[in-house]
Amino acid sequence: MSAASGGVADLAEVMARLRRECAWTAAQTHESLTRYLLEEAHEVLAAFDGGDPNEVRDELGDLLFQVVFHAQVASERPAADGGFDLDDVAAGIAAKLRRRNPHVFAGGEARTPEEIDAAWQAVKAQEATRASVHDGIPLALPALMYADKVLKRLGDPKVEGDDLGSRLLALVAEARAAGLDPEAELRRTVRALPDLP
């Protein structure tokens, strides 16, 4: 099975036709679609939690549709006005992955997961200048995920304090120190709670 085939091109053609011939689809904007993008991302997570490969495939398809939809909307603007298409999106992420994985594409020497992550972070740091540790982290992220990213950027400082927020942040730090994703751990634990009697 190839990593990519005519299916993606077919989806792009379907999307372009929907934009031309479906009044609802044609009326959508990046802003009107944001809720669907977020919903589909959460549905992918739920499918992973459920463990059914067919559901995972279907939900990933719904999420991919959102990416293709946004790229189609953007392609309808001239490049001079910020327009881009699905090929631009794919080329951009491919270039980023080559740049951030020098151990695969540029003779880099990182081999262990820790070395690879450090090399990735070093390249990423060179690409962006930040005025704040919060720059580039979406405020809409779930709080545990947001805290995880900020702590990582700060170099995993010791967290102290007696208020609830500090205690929660300390638990995120504890999860990071154990190599665990606090968001995934909490979601897994909550899903394991007994159902209503």
**So what's the pLDDT on residue 15?**
96
Give per-residue burial for 159-179: e unless 16+ CB within 10 Å, then b. beeeeeeeebbebbbebbeee
Q: Regarding predicted confidence, which is higher, 91 or 120?
A: 91
Residue 5 — very low, low, confident or very high, per pLDDT cuts 50/70/90? low
Query: E-strand spans in 65-120?
Result: none
Q: What is the pLDDT of residues 72-94, one digit of tens each?
A: 999 999 989 999 999 999 999 99
List, for residues 150-187, the tens digit of each pLDDT value: 999 899 999 999 999 999 999 999 999 999 999 889 98
- Using alpha carbons, select from 107, 67, 102 the residue that is nearest to residue 87: 67
DSSP 48: H
Nearest 5°: the CA angle 126, 128, 134 is: 125
> What residues does each domain of the chain span?
6-84, 133-192
Could you tell me which CATH number the domain at 6-84 has? 1.10.287.1080
For residue 157 the two structure tokens come to 């400082």
Tokens of 8: 């993606």
Count of CB atoms situated within 10 Å of the CB of 151: 20
Specify the long-range contacts of residues 60-69, CB closer than 8 Å, at least 24 apart: 63/37, 64/8, 64/11, 65/11, 65/15, 65/40, 66/33, 66/36, 66/37, 66/40, 68/8, 68/11, 68/12, 68/15, 69/15, 69/25, 69/28, 69/33
pTM above 0.85?
Answer: no
